[in-house]
Amino acid sequence: MSSSTAIATVNSRTDIQPAGAAVNGTEEQYVTFTVGSEEYGVNILAVREIRGWTPESRLPNLPDYVRGVINLRGIIIPIFDLRARFGGGPTQVTKRHVVVVMQVGERTRGILVDAISDILAIGHDAIKPPPDVDSGLVDAEYLSGLYTAENRMVTLLNVEKLFAGEHADQDPGPRTPALEAT
Amino acid sequence: MDDLSRFKQTYFDESAELLAVAEAGLLRLAPGEIDMDEVNAIFRAVHSIKGGGGAFGFNDLVAFAHEFETVMDGVRNAEIPVTTELVDTLIRANDVLARLLAHAADETDAPAGTTDETVTALRRFLDKTGAPAEEQLSAPADSLYPDDEDDEAGIFGDALAAIQAARDDQPATVMSAPVPEGKLRWTIVFRPKAELLLSGNEPTYMLRALRRLGDAEVVCHLDKLPSLRDLDAELLHLSWTVTLLADPQIDRAQIDDVFEFVADDCDIRISAEAPPPAIIEPADPLPAANLPEPAAPGSPPAAPTPATTPGSPGAAKTGDGAKRGNGGDHSGPTTHTIRVDLDKIDRLVNMVGEMVITQAMIAEHLRDLPPGQFQELLEGLESLAQHTRELRESVMSIRAQPVSSVFSRMPRLVRECAAATGKEVMLVTSGETTEVDKTVVENLVDPLTHMIRNSIDHGLEGPEERERIGKPRAGTVHLSAAHRSGRIVIEVTDDGRGINRAKVLSKAIEKGLVQPGSSLSDDEIDNLIFLPGFSTADQVSNLSGRGVGMDVVRRNISSLGGRIGVYSTPGEGSRFVLSLPLTLAVLDGMVISVGDERFVLPLTNIVESLRPKPADLHGLVNKCDVMMARGEYVRLVHLHRLFGIPKAIDDATKGLVVLVETEDGSRLGLVVDEVLGQQQVVIKSLEANFRRLDGVAAATILGDGRVALILDVAGLREMSRHGAGNGAITQPSSFLPAPADRSDQRQRQTV
C-alpha cells in the first residue's frame, strides 16, 4: 500500500503559480499530462488528486480501456487507460505511471497517464477549437480545444464526454442486485 | 431544503411514530380493562398529530384528527364505553389518519370522501353519550373566557383590549389586589421565542390550559409587535402575563407541565404569591429552562401523567411532541436520544470499515518483522486491533434496531387475519429486543407478514375443528427472535395442522413442479412450498392462495443474505426458521481465486466445495460440462471462461468446484482455482462511481487493500446460459492481453 500514497493533492488554486500567460479574469488552470508523446490537459477544478499507480482489480468483459477498479480510501473507483482509449493499446504500467483522480459529475474516476507535466493557466482566447479529427478513434466532441504552450501542443479534454459511455444510466441494470451497498 | 420543509419532515417522522403508538395502544384497548395511561397516550398522539398538522395547514387532516380526538376524549372521560366496535372504529380512524398524513406528505389531496365513513362512525359514539365530549373539557370555565376550541377571539380580544396598557408600558395587571383567602396567586410571564409557532406549538392552548387551573387573567404584550409592513406571519410577536388565582393544591409542577413542550423555546417566569399567613409553596422565580425541576415537592417528574393529575389535562394539549418522540412512554423523564441522519451514520460505518482494513494491512506488513524485536509495536498493534473491533461493533450498533418495531405491527395483522378467517388466534412474541441492522428490520416486514398470514390461513385449524381434536380453541402463533452465532434467527411457529405432505406433493406434481413418481423425503416435500407458483389452498382467499407467498418470502430473505427453512410435524404444527445476517453492510463470504484475480462468494450461496474425479465429469453438446454431485447432475460454469481471466485452471479435476445454490434453489458448479478462506467483508458499491456489471453483485476491499468483486450467483447462471459457458457475453473480453495461454496452468499446491 506504500506505493499508493498520493503524489500531490490539488485542492487549491491559489498556491499554484501559473506558468505561461498572465493572469486575467477569463483564464482557467489546467493540469497537463503526457501519454506517449502527446500532452493532454484537463481543467484543474475536475481534478481531485494525483496518485501513483497501484495495481487494479480487473473487471470482467469490458473494453480494454477500462483497466479495472482500485480502492481510494474506501470508495471503489474505476480506472480508465487513456492510451487504450485513444487506440494506443493497453498501457504497460510501471511504478512511475500516474493516476489522475477526477470528479466527473457525481462520480469519481481515475485516468491512467504516463506522467504529469505541468499546470497551465490558459486564457479562453488562447484555446483553439479542435480541428476535424478523422482518425475515428477520438471524436471531436471529446476534445474541448487545443492550446499551444512553448511550441508544444496540449490537447484539452472534455472528460465528461470522454467517459460518458461508462455511466450507469446507460446500463440501468434491471435485475435486482442481490447486495445493496450501504 | 428550506426551514419549513425541514420542520415538515420532522413532523411526518414524528407523526409516523405517534401513529404507531396510537395503534399499539388501540390494540391493547379492550372492553373491561381500560388502562387510563394507554387512553391518554392515544389521545396525546392524536392530538399531537392534529396540533402539528394545524401548524402546516393540513386542514383535512386537522378536521379529521379533531373528530378522532373528540371520541378519544370521551373515552378518557369515561363517557364513551369501550366496546369492540369502538376499538375497531378507532383503529380504522387511525388508518384514515395515516392515509391523510401520507397524502399530506406527498402534497396531494386525499380523495374526497376518504374520511366520511369513519367520521360518521366516530360521531355515532358521540351521539350515544348525548354530550359532546368537548364540553367536558371545559373545566370550571369562566363565562368571560368561553372555552371553545375555535374561539380564539376570547383570548386575543382581551389582549387587544390591553394594547393601550402595553403600549404605555404600564403593568397591566391587578398585581396590587390582595390575594383572596385560601387561594394562591401565580404570576406567569410567558415570553415565547418568535419561532415558537414553527414547531407547531400553539400558545392559546397553553393559556387555555392555565385557565383550567384557576381564575386566570391574561394580558397580552404587544411591545415586540412590528409594524404591519415588517410583520412576518410565521413568527410570534406576542408575549403574555397571566395572573392565576388558583387553589392551593395546584402546585408548581402543574404549571410547569403546561409549558413542558415549549420550555426550550420561551422564557417563562413563574412566581407565586400566597395570602399573607399561608406558606404553601416556595415562590422564588426559578430559571425557566430548568423545567424538570426537582424542587416541587410531591409533584410528579417532568413528564405529565394526566391520569393522576386531573387538574392538568392541558399539559398534554400543548400541541407538539417535539421532546417526546414516542409520545406514549410512561417512563417519565425525556429519553436521551437524538435523531441522526442515516447518511451520517453510514459515513461513519464506512470510515470504520476503512480503519479495520488499514489495521489489517498494517498487521500483515508487520508480520514480516523479525520476531523478538519491536515487541512494543506489536503490542500496540494488538490493542489497536481490539479498539477498532470494538469501535466497529459500537458503530454497527448505532444502526441496530430492536425487531420490536416489526413485531409490534403483527398483532394488528393477526387480528385482521383472524377476523377474515373466522379463526381464534393468539399471538405470542418473544425476543422483541433482539437488535439487528435498520435495513434488515425494514426488509423484514413483508416476509413476516406473509409468513404469519400463511400460518393462520393454512396452518391453524378453525376453532370447532381444534376443539374436536382436543386442542384449545384458539390457535397460537409464536413469533420469536434471537441472536445465534452472529446472525439473527426469527421463528414463526404455529400449533396448527402442519404441512399436509400428501397434498403438497400431489399439488406439486399437478403443477409440474415435480416429476410424477419421484420419491422425495419429508423435508424435501416441505420445502416444495417455497417453489414459485406453489399453493395448496383450494380456493384463493383474500389472505393467501394465489401462489405468491412463500416463494416471495424466500426471495426476499435471500436478497437479504438470509435463508429460510421449514420444519413441520403433522397434527402438531409448523415452524419456519429465518436466519439473517445482522447487517447488510457486512457479508460473510468465501474468498476464491481464479487466475490472479480474487472474488468473494456470499457464504449463503455456497453448498459445498469439492474436487471432482474425472469420472464425475460429463460433457454435453455445447461444451457445457455437467458434474455428478451427490446423485445429482450439476452444470459446471468455468468462472475464468465467463470472465475471460487468463492463467486459470480449466480442468475441474485440477481445480475446485464450488457448489452454489441460487435463490430459487437451482444449483450450479463454479469451477475455480482455489478456495482461500472465509472472511467477513464490507460491501462496497461498484455503481456509485462506475456501473453494474453482469455477474457481479458488489465489490469489497480485502485485507491487502485490493478490491475484490462479490459474485452474484444468479447473475452468473444467467450469463452462462446466454454465453453457453464460453466467455463471450457482451463483447469479446478484450480487456486482457489475450485470452490465450491456458497451457500455462498453474499447479495447485493445496486444497
DSSP B130-166: SS-HHHHH-TT--TTS---TT-THHHHHHHHHTHHHH
B502: burial class by Cβ within 10 Å (0-12, 13-18, 19+)? Answer: exposed
> How confident is residue B3, by pLDDT bands cut at 50, 70 and 90?
low
Evaluate whether B155 touches B218 at the Cβ level (below 8 Å).
yes
Nearest to B644 by CA among B708, B743, B729: B729
Residue of B nearest to A60 (CA): B643
- More confident call, A15 vs B445: B445
- Average the pLDDT over B738-748 and give the result: 31
Q: What residue type is A66 in one-letter code?
A: V
- Indicate the SS3 state at residue A76: strand
Nearest by CB: A61 against B663, B718, B733:
B733
Residue of B nearest to A77 (CA): B689
Collect all residues with Cβ–Cβ distance below 8 Å to B530 and sequence separation of at least 6: B550, B551, B553, B554, B564, B566, B665
Residues of chain B with CATH 1.20.120.160: 3-127
pTM of the predicted model, to two decimals? 0.50
Q: Residue B140: its pLDDT value, please?
A: 42
B212-246: per-residue pLDDT in tens? 777 878 888 877 777 777 777 777 888 888 888 77
Residue B195 carries which DSSP code? G
Q: List the beta bridge partners of residue B635.
A: B626
Evaluate whether B242 touches B255 at the Cβ level (below 8 Å).
no
Q: Residue B28: its pLDDT value, please?
A: 79
Weakest-pLDDT range from A140-144, B3-7, B353-357, B536-540: B536-540
B312-352: per-residue pLDDT in tens? 333 333 333 333 334 344 444 455 778 888 788 878 877 88
Q: How many CA atoms lie within 13 A of B482 on its CB side?
A: 8
Return the C-alpha cell found at B377: 509495536
Question: Which residues in B654-672 are b (16+ Cβ under 10 Å) and which e?
Answer: ebbbbbbbbbeeebbbbbb
Nearest to A13 by CA among A38, A44, A40, A37: A44
Determine, for residues A60 and B354 on separate chains, whether the beta-carbon distance falls below 8 Å: no
Q: What residue type is B545 in one-letter code?
A: G
CATH number of B586-724: 2.30.30.40
In a domain, A61, yes or no: yes
> How confident is residue A172, by pLDDT bands cut at 50, 70 and 90?
very low
- More confident call, A70 vs A163: A70
In a domain, A172, yes or no: no
Beta strands in chain A (DSSP E): 6-8, 19-20, 27-35, 38-43, 47-52, 66-72, 75-81, 98-104, 107-113, 115-123, 143-149, 152-157
B382-399: per-residue pLDDT in tens? 888 888 878 877 887 888
Return the C-alpha cell found at B634: 450439476
Determine, for residues B709 and A166 on separate chains, whether the beta-carbon distance falls below 8 Å: no
- Average the pLDDT over B704-722 and give the result: 84
Q: Chains A and B: how many Cβ contacts under 8 Å?
A: 152
Evaluate whether A79 touches A99 at the Cβ level (below 8 Å).
yes
- More confident call, A30 vs B37: A30
Question: Which residues in B435-474 are b (16+ Cβ under 10 Å) and which e?
Answer: bbbbbbbebbeebbbbbbbbbbbbbbbebeebeeeebeee
Evaluate whether B686 touches B694 at the Cβ level (below 8 Å).
no
B:335-374 residues touching chain A, CB 8 A cutoff: 346, 349-351, 353-354, 357, 361
B545-566: per-residue pLDDT in tens? 444 577 778 878 877 777 788 8
Nearest by CB: B689 against A59, A108, A170:
A108
Q: What value of ipTM does the predicted structure carry?
A: 0.76
Nearest by CB: A179 against B346, B357, B683:
B683
Determine, for residues B706 and A71 on separate chains, whether the beta-carbon distance falls below 8 Å: yes
Architecture of domain B181-273 in this structure: 2-Layer Sandwich (3.30)
> How confident is residue B601, by pLDDT bands cut at 50, 70 and 90?
very high
Determine, for residues B712 and A177 on separate chains, whether the beta-carbon distance falls below 8 Å: yes
Flag whether residue B630 sits within 8 Å of chain A, measured between CB atoms. Answer: no
Nearest by CB: B708 against A55, A57, A90:
A57
Weakest-pLDDT range from B158-162, B575-579, B673-677: B158-162
A62: burial class by Cβ within 10 Å (0-12, 13-18, 19+)? Answer: buried
Flag whether residue A25 sits within 8 Å of chain B, measured between CB atoms. Answer: no
Evaluate whether B677 touches B591 at the Cβ level (below 8 Å).
yes
In the block, which residue shows the cell 402543574? B254
Q: What is the mean pLDDT of chain B?
A: 74
User: Which long-range contacts (C-beta less than 8 Å, at least 24 apart) are formed by B351-354?
Assistant: B351/A74, B352/B388, B352/B391, B352/B392, B352/B395, B353/A74, B353/B392, B353/B585, B353/B682, B354/A73, B354/A74
- Average the pLDDT over B284-289 and give the result: 44
Q: Residue A34: its pLDDT value, please?
A: 93
- Dist. CA B307–CA B303, nearest whole Å: 12
B193-213: per-residue pLDDT in tens? 777 777 777 778 778 887 777
The CA–CA distances, whole Å, from B445 to B61, B433, B448, B544 equal 27, 16, 5, 16
Return the C-alpha cell found at B316: 398534554
Q: Residue A112: its pLDDT value, please?
A: 94
Q: What residue type is B136 in one-letter code?
A: Q
In a domain, A1, yes or no: no
Q: Residue B307: its pLDDT value, please?
A: 39
CA distance A173 to chain B (A): 6
> How confident is residue B180, by pLDDT bands cut at 50, 70 and 90?
low
Residue of A nearest to B599 (CA): A57
In a domain, A168, yes or no: no
Return the C-alpha cell found at B679: 472472511
Print the domain residue range for A49: 27-131+139-163
Residue of A nearest to B562 (CA): A178
B445-456: per-residue pLDDT in tens? 888 888 888 888
Residues of chain B with CATH 3.30.565.10: 343-534+547-584
Cβ contacts of A66 on chain B, cutoff 8 Å: 735
A23-69: per-residue pLDDT in tens? 455 788 999 999 988 899 999 999 999 999 988 999 998 888 899 99
The bridge status of strand B435-437 relative to strand B487-494 is unpaired
Nearest to B475 by CA among B577, B574, B409: B574
Flag whether residue B521 sits within 8 Å of chain A, measured between CB atoms. Answer: no
In a domain, A125, yes or no: yes
CA distance A28 to chain B (A): 26
Q: List the beta bridge partners of residue B428.
A: B478
- Average the pLDDT over B57-63 and give the result: 83
Q: Residue B276: its pLDDT value, please?
A: 52
Q: Across B33-42, B111-120, B568-577, which has the greatest mean pLDDT?
A: B568-577
Does the domain at B343-534+547-584 match CATH 3.30.565.10? Answer given as: yes
Q: How far is CA B620 from the centre of its chain?
A: 51
Say what angle helices B59-76 and B84-106 make with each other, to 10 degrees: 160
In a domain, A72, yes or no: yes
CA distance B708 to chain A (A): 7
Tell me what percent of the residues of chain A surpass a pLDDT of 70.
69
Nearest to B218 by CA among B277, B174, B278, B183: B174
Weakest-pLDDT range from B20-29, B272-281, B687-696: B272-281
In the block, which residue shows the cell 485542492? A11
Cβ contacts of B730 on chain A, cutoff 8 Å: 61
The CA–CA distances, whole Å, from B136 to B75, B79, B141 equal 11, 9, 10
Q: How many separate domains does chain A show?
A: 1
B480-506: per-residue pLDDT in tens? 998 876 678 899 999 988 888 888 888
Cβ contacts of A181 on chain B, cutoff 8 Å: 585, 683-688, 698
- More confident call, B98 vs B271: B98
Determine, for residues A74 and B701 on separate chains, whether the beta-carbon distance falls below 8 Å: yes
Evaluate whether B247 touches B256 at the Cβ level (below 8 Å).
no
Q: Residue A77: its pLDDT value, please?
A: 93
Evaluate whether A1 touches B705 at the Cβ level (below 8 Å).
yes
Cβ contacts of A59 on chain B, cutoff 8 Å: 690, 693, 696, 709, 735
In a domain, A42, yes or no: yes
Weakest-pLDDT range from B52-56, B170-174, B233-237: B170-174
Flag whether residue B209 sits within 8 Å of chain A, measured between CB atoms. Answer: no
In a domain, A181, yes or no: no
Architecture of domain B3-127 in this structure: Up-down Bundle (1.20)
Alpha helices in B180-238 (DSSP H): 203-211
Determine, for residues B693 and A61 on separate chains, whether the beta-carbon distance falls below 8 Å: yes
Instruction: Give the domain CATH number at A94.
Output: 2.40.50.180
- More confident call, B637 vs B508: B637
Q: Residue A50: its pLDDT value, please?
A: 94
Choose, out of B689, B730, B731, the residue to mutate when testing the contact with A (most A CBs < 10 Å): B689
Q: Residue B493: its pLDDT value, please?
A: 92
CA distance A104 to chain B (A): 9
